[in-house]
Structure 1
Amino acid sequence: MGTTNRHLSADYRDCGCHHTSQCEWDRRFGNCKSTESAVSLLYSTLLYSTLLYSTLLYSTLLYSTLLYSTLLYSTLLYSTLLYSTLILSNLIYSTLLFSALLYSTPLYYTILYCTILYHTISLTLLSV
């Protein structure tokens, strides 16, 4: 019994075991063998697959979130630039329109004054 424990504690890594509870000494052949069952191997495989899947899912979500936020930021920046450009062009247009109205208003009143004066003179001349 003492040699079994000694051999097991010294040689359990030779079986591919990670812990002494996963190995068993085979008295017929004089070596250790793994006692890991198919259930524990399946559990380890499922655990590893789940960890891998969750890591990939997390990475994908992180990447898509970064992509979404980048696109959102770009869209906001573009719309802000477009909006400010429209405001600036409207200001320029309004300034030009106001200047044109200021320029044309004296001309309009001059023409109106001349027309009224012409009609007044012609009516006065006709009545004489």
Structure 2
Amino acid sequence: MKYPDEVTLNGYLAKRKPMLIAISFDGETALISRLDDSFERHILLAHFGIKQTDIDKYFRIAVDEDTADWTFVCPSDYKGITDRKRRITAFYNDGINAISKVLADIGYYSDIRIPKRYRRHFETLGDDSTYLPY
């Protein structure tokens, strides 16, 4: 789903404008807006009539032509997986797959990066990497 509309957003994509994207956990829905039109993810959801409290049902990225910054926040109830390490691993793998697909679909072949402030999740996995190209 593209905001404000498909034609306008496709023009922004052609000009390689920075985008804000939310991808449903099943990978079936991608909400895409120019960063300057949404500013924050809860505004992005509101553009599509989605409650801002549903933000934790989406993989969230801010992307430009070089880098896709992933707001890596794994919900404690993700896929009903109770083991924290398995849950974070599943979230990471699912997110990389969904994000990579959407980026390819819109023609942005950007490296996926998890900003340092989200590193605490990787400490659980025994990995302190903060830069993870797809």
Normalized against structure 2, the TM-score is what?
0.19
Greater relative CO, 1 or 2 (CA 8 Å, sep 6+): 2
Which TM-score applies when normalising by structure 1? 0.20
Normalized per residue, the structure richer in strand is 2
